[in-house]
Structure 1
Amino acid sequence: MPANETVLGSTRRPEDYLPPEQGPHDEEEPLIPPETPPPAGSAVCGTAMLLIVFGLLISTVAFASLYYHLLGAPRLPKWPKPSISPLGKYSRAAVAADNELCSEIGRNTLLRGGNAVDAAIAALFCIGVMDTHSAGLGGGHFMTIYNSSTQKCTVIDAREVAPKAATETMYEGRWNESRTGWRAVAVPGELHGLWTEFEKYGSRKISWKSLVQPTIDLLEEGFPTSHALAEALEGKAQYIAGESTMGEFINPKTGKVYRTGEQIKTRKSLLNTLRRLANTSNPLQEFYEGEMAREMASEFKRFGGILTEADFASYRSLVISSSDVIYTSLKNDRVICGPPPPSGSAVAQAILNVMDGYKYNMKKFKDVSLLYHHFIESSKFAYAARSWLGDPAFVHNATNIARNITTKKWAEWVRHVEAKSLITDETHPDEYYGGSFLAPPQDHGTTHISVVDSHGNAVSVTSTINL
């Protein structure tokens, strides 16, 4: 690091995550203009599709990858085994979810003539049951859609929003209420996003009901408790036992929360909800403005929550156009696209952008070691920048910072090709990498689905309930 350069520290400002010569900036006039969307002919894919390459490095999401051949009519096993390859190669299409049954539901949707969006919707309904601790109707998601015909990306922001009665001080002295209990729940966006995606980007060859029905079948017939779900239930066993509305997670045969492999057939409330949503011509009317919204608002009031009918009625998911999507260009005409803040897509893009500037001979042990080291160090700088990101409605520099950390100039600054590299052959104290805090909150990750259909369309969707 040059002698006249101040070491990055927790007291630095967000503009310090631009190259050193840059000063304070306004979001309306970025000093480093965002790189233009990819020209025709460029290969574009969602952020998570490239992250699959790094699956063994980050080890945050276990993907069960499945493929199909459209030539002929192959006989498909009911429960196909997941690929043992960390990087699968498929001839026509692929669905990757972190539960095998949900991957199959998505794959079967493609076989029935659906496109990548249809398959992602069907798989996400399934994830809401199989990984109910990570996603579901009570949460929200970001979906990035790549259209192979236009070679452009669109994003649906269906994340939750705070109820109108929420205040900045409502959790003071009782922080645990921000994660558990009725006051922890925001206005859910999951269903609004799924219906918007179906209406605007679905194939029109698959009905809405047929996308929900496979998950209804799972609930009716029963499904095995995954290790991840069992672990999450065990971690909240005491809370579940004391919460009258969560009795469906108690195995009636044992009197305890479900354990790995045990069949769950007690999710009757969710089953009835999905049946109602599958059989209505307008699920948004039913969920956000109809009888279902009134039932939920009444329940929140009865148990001390602050969600109201007005909160449900006012919710809208956002369609983010191609021009506002975050893009990063890599070698060999590869381009990543993903949502702007409050999504953290720019963080993943920044890491890959820094790594793209290195060259390795993978036959040399030293280069292999350096690859891992550079990946870890790049992640530290990118996650330090992440601490300055947030909802642009409240963090006015968030979008500008996201665009800057995905530029070649920022990546070169981290590698510091013209001077001593910020990424050295050593690791450093936390303050070296910067960030607005040195002790980040617990971050458990969430669920993700990636789909590519036979026409080259791709979907990358991250869903969460923030647990």
Structure 2
Amino acid sequence: MTLPFRSPARSLTLSLLALAALASCARPAPAPRASVPAPPPAAAAAEPAASQNFVVAANPLASEAGMAVLRRGGSAVDAAIAVQAMLSLVEPQSSGIGGGAFLNYFNAETGKAEIYDGRETAPAGASPDMFIGDNGKPLGYPAAVTSGRATGVPGVVRMLKLAHEEHGSLEWQTLFGDAERTARDGFIVSPRLGRFLTRSFPQLAGADAQAYFAEADGSLVDVGDRLKNPAYAAFLARLAAQGPDALYAGPTAQAIVARTNAAPLGGTMTLADLTAYRPVKREPLCRDWRVYLVCVPPPPSSGVGMLQLLLMLERTDIASRNAQDPQAWFLFAEASRIMYADRDRYVGDPLTGAVPVEGLLAPDYIARRAKLIGTVAGAPPAAGTPAGAVAAAADTTAEPAGTSHFIVGDSKGNVVSMTTTVESIFGTGRMVDGFFLNNQMTDFAFSPRDAQGRAAVNAVAPGKRPRSSMTPLVMIDRQGRFAGALGSAGGNAILAYVGKSMIGAVDWGLPMQQALALPNVVARGDNFGGEVTRFSPQILEALAARGVKIEPGQGEDSGLHGVIVRNGRIDGGYDPRREGRVLVEAGRR
């Protein structure tokens, strides 16, 4: 849907199941695509964006919690705190306050992006070989992901507190009421959560998950059941009253240390690790692309890969094509493979070594890499040698896909684009005070060196943050105004999911809802994963003739949310693969 950007406000609340049907309010879209699901009818045009509050989140209860804060005059950051608190309850398989996040904040007053890094850190006792077994080989993933060693020091709570200190409007203690009440009274298990509870994830076999989700007869709760979490309600009451110390000190911190130190494969986290955690305020990584300035988080986020992908595609003719053109998907797949080759080799936490960001984004390097896109897909592309690069081992990171993204805008024009995660589905499966602990340490490479002795950029080190594919994106126009925001869940596929949506929304002029619904293709190395049932047989055959044979992709799939401003109007959408909701309401100024 599209909303006027600047005019006097009038009260109106919109609960939007799809935002793109108002094509008359957006740039004319290309001819209908057979492979793109048509969005359901949307509501009528509403208030100007300059006076609007809006929330796009993966669960309706989270969207409502954020909007309730905005209605009280809260800021985008205030609402983001309420959204995260609710997601931790109703979407525990994806994110939570026991995890980490990157927050990209558009400051309407300065016209600039600000990055808050709440990524988890390795405990001081972590070692490069902590995921090497007694046999000298890397641990199997099920054993590693449920181990005490898998949990990094949680970061999202202290990161949100820092952002609140700088951009909050309401008192911290007033932001958790909806989530606390819902945890105490219970919520109805959604189809998506219920679906995950029927699968054989190793985390669900653990005692904590069984105790939380089990019914009296031993079976797990099902879709439509009411699930209560009194332990989480009590913790939120303390978090509201005490601030981050409710998690980083006292009984909750002691419980986190105990659960992560417990067998099997107990970790090394201490109370000192929790006390020492600090979020990082980083400079955004921004580049001109098309008519926008695109800003993303720098390493240890993979935002540099997102920019590299867009800048390479800018040197092709993809913008003159459309979603029915197999050559467009071929170009996207080949550019993705080149980007992933570089991202996998060079991106990690700059704490332990420089990442050649400027070299990866240098125009001459982008041009050289784009020229590798031929007419037929060949062997997997090798990593290039950008300026500033040092010899590094081939990447062995196996990144799972349990994550969530949301976008919040307040009536003053400030916007939060935030990607948040506990890493794999339900984190480690270990719980403290009603929330799951992350397994973020398994985002490090299990093998610290290769056979030649070269160090892996993403190897474990004390205090280090694991590389992340989380890439919350903000677009700014040439007048310094908010122009859009995008992000997704999906592990290492996040870059492909967001890149596809950017091409669809910007290059092909699709309404945001249709751009997010475009088929997903994740081309990395010699694998071409994707949603084969969303492509027409003709496109699949034409891609196969070009060497791109798409196979079914990874399990959790995308969790895209996006907003873009077109001709002074806002067009936003949520990923139809999840249970998202977009809410828009006239705000007070």
- TM-score bracket, normalised by the shorter chain, equals 0.7 to 0.9
5 Å-filtered alignment, 1:12-161, equals: 71-74=9-12, 76=13, 80-83=15-18, 85=20, 91-92=48-49, 93=52, 94-161=54-121
Superposed CA RMSD in Å reads 3.2
For residue 341 of structure 2, what is the aligned residue in structure 1? 384
Q: 1:235-277 deviations in whole A, cap 9, x for unaligned?
A: 3556534x33333432415522333333212x22222211211
CA distance in 1, matches of 2:407, 2:3: 11
Match of 2:303 in 1: 345
Question: Residue 207 of structure 1 aligns to which amino acid in structure 2?
Answer: E
> Which segments of 5 or more consecutive residues in structure 2 lack a partner in the other structure?
27-45, 134-138, 385-391, 425-589
Q: Is the partner of 1:449 in helix, strand or coil?
A: strand
Deviation at 1:301, TM superposition (A): 4.3
Query: Alignment partner for residue 461 of structure 1, among 418, 426, 432?
Result: 418
Q: 1:187, 1:311 within 8 Å by CA — same for their partners in 2?
A: yes
| Cα shift at 1:227 | 3.6
Match of 1:218 among 151, 164, 182: 182
Task: Find the aligned partners of 2:286 and 2:150 in 1 and give their Cα distance.
Answer: 33
Quote the Cα distance in structure 1 between the aligned partners of 2:160 and 2:103. Answer: 9
| Paired letter, 1:105 | A
Contact 1:342/1:390 (8 A) holds in 2 = yes
Percentage identity across paired residues of the two chains? 27
The counterpart of 2:194, out of the listed 230, 243, 252, is: 230
What are the within-5 Å matches in structure 2 for residues 169-318 of structure 1?
169-173=129-133, 174-176=139-141, 177-202=143-168, 204=169, 206-236=170-200, 239-241=203-205, 243-253=206-216, 255-265=218-228, 267-280=229-242, 283-301=243-261, 304-318=266-280
- Residue 101 to residue 171, structure 1, CA distance change in 2 (3 Å): same
Query: What does residue 445 of structure 2 align with?
Result: none
Decide whether the 8 Å contact of 2:103 with 2:416 is kept in 1. Answer: yes
Q: Distance in 2 between matches of 1:393 and 1:153?
A: 22
Deviation at 1:445, TM superposition (A): 5.3
Deviation at 1:143, TM superposition (A): 0.8
Match of 2:404 in 1: 447
Aligned-partner Cα distance in 1 for 2:106–2:10: 27
2 CA distance for matches of 1:300 and 1:366? 47
Structure 1 counterpart of 2:212, one-letter code: F
8 Å contact from structure 2 (residues 400, 423) kept in 1: no
Q: 1:196 to 1:70 in 2, by over 3 A?
A: farther
* 1:96 Cα deviation after fit: 1.7
Aligned residue type for 2:376: E
Tell me the equivalent position of 2:360: 405
Structure 1 unaligned runs (5+)?
1-63, 416-420
Q: Counterpart of 2:468? A: none
TM-score, with structure 1 as normaliser: 0.73
Offset of 1:342 from its aligned partner? 0.6
The one-letter code matched in structure 2 to 1:404 is: G
Instruction: Kindly provide the amino acid, as one letter, of the partner of residue 220 in structure 1.
Output: R
Show the counterpart of 2:373. 423
Q: How many residues were matched structurally? A: 382
Displacement of 1:367 after TM fit? 8.3
Q: Is the 8 A contact 1:66 1:104 kept in 2?
A: no
In the aligned structure 2, how far is the partner of 1:220 from the partner of 1:391? 39
Offset, 1:131: 1.7
Report if the CA contact (8 A) 1:144-1:154 is conserved: yes
Q: Is the 8 A contact 2:341 2:381 kept in 1?
A: no
